[in-house]
Copies of this chain bind each other. A is one copy, B any other.
Amino acid sequence: MDAEYIAALDIGGTKMAAMVASRDGPLARISQPSIKSGTSRALPEQGLELIEAVCAKAGVPASAINTLGVASAGPFVREEGAIALCSPNLCGGLSSDSDLPNDWTSIPLEKVVRERYATVAIDNDCVSALVAERTFGAVIDEPDCAYVTWSTGIGFGLCVDGRLLRGKNGNAGHAGHILMSETDDALCGCGNRGDLEALASGRNVGIRANMPASELFERARNGDAQAREVAERAAQWFGRGLYNLVATLDTRVFVIGGSVWLHHGNWLAPLVMREIESRFPALTSGVRILPAALGRLVADVGALAMVVPKDWIPLWRQGKPWEKLAKG
């Protein structure tokens, strides 16, 4: 029997969101801060409770849900074949100088949610965002594309030859951590110096400029010469990063989201394109960058898109029912 309802979770380092949807579209969404204490099962159990709550809010019996899509912050590890989280933003046991109120070294995400749901799909949140954009957004039917978030961090969801890339533990797309400078000693949260995220992420650009990234990019747009220099340098690094992806994967289209791009993509885009187009024409000719069509809800809609029944897709494409959630 086909599903009447599906559910989705978006698990981040700061917040978690749950949604429930029917053929007509997402019915409700609830968000709350991610739990960071208790046993290592606490976070996925919070997710299960949040789905019960969002079902109650939507008037859907929780027992009607058998299918769950999960978009989650990475990286992942495999424990007895099941995906577990080993994100340093969630697991206090991964670093000796962590100030998190737990000693988790991994979080058994897939194990816990499979105890409750028969059908489960779990992907990195950037992979999930790419699923959303390929199903409902800017790159429908595009076989060679990537989703990129330029926000606090920088992450990628990758698609080559029409297939999403996952890799040995589902961590394909951590190209925010590729090494790009050997002299710039910018430090990344992962411990690298001179990787893309150290050089261009909102968090790291903000640290260098000694102000929030949002303020820095705002000042740069308004003509402040010093802020402009920092922002342009970040855009160059970001563009060089996208070029590196083109050289590696022969990508045709990048869909870009995240808070930096949502607010400043219009004036940053030419700076980024210049770094791509100026190199190796056989690889870069015709490469395009597009803004994410699904905006702030891209990972949430992606978590639904990962498990959406095929016959709902044309209806959702036409009605864009997630837009109600964005306003709610």
**Chain A residues within 8 Å of B, Cβ to Cβ:** 74-77, 86, 143-144, 156, 158, 160-161, 163, 165-184, 190-192, 195, 240, 243-245, 247-252, 279-280, 282-283
Do A182 and B180 touch (CB < 8 A)?
yes
- Give the residue name and chain of the B residue nearest to A161 (CB): B166
Do B283 and A171 touch (CB < 8 A)?
yes
- Give the residue name and chain of the B residue nearest to A86 (CB): B282
Provide a sorted-by-A list of 13 A–B residue pairs whose CB atoms are within 8 angstroms: A144-B168, A158-B249, A161-B166, A169-B282, A174-B248, A175-B247, A175-B248, A177-B247, A178-B178, A178-B247, A179-B180, A183-B183, A248-B249
Distance, CA A77 to CA B282, complexed state (A): 7
Do B166 and A250 touch (CB < 8 A)?
yes
Do A181 and B178 touch (CB < 8 A)?
no
Distance, CA A182 to CA B237, complexed state (A): 10
Q: How far is the CB of A122 from chain B (nearest CB, A)?
A: 15
Interface of A: prevailing SS: loop
Do A244 and B247 touch (CB < 8 A)?
no
Known: A158-B249, A166-B250, A177-B283. 18 other contacts (CB 8 A): A75-B282, A77-B282, A160-B167, A165-B249, A165-B250, A169-B250, A172-B248, A174-B280, A174-B283, A175-B248, A178-B178, A178-B244, A180-B180, A180-B182, A181-B181, A181-B183, A244-B244, A248-B249
Distance, CA A161 to CA B158, complexed state (A): 12
Q: How far is the CB of A196 from chain B (nearest CB, A)?
A: 9
- A158, A179, A184, A195, most chain B CB atoms within 10 A: A179
Known: A182-B181, A249-B167. A191 touches B280 (CB 8 A): yes
Do B244 and A179 touch (CB < 8 A)?
yes
Distance, CA A250 to CA B169, complexed state (A): 7
Known: A160-B166, A160-B167. A280 touches B190 (CB 8 A): yes
CB contact between A75 and one of B176, B252, B283 (< 8 Å): that residue:
B283
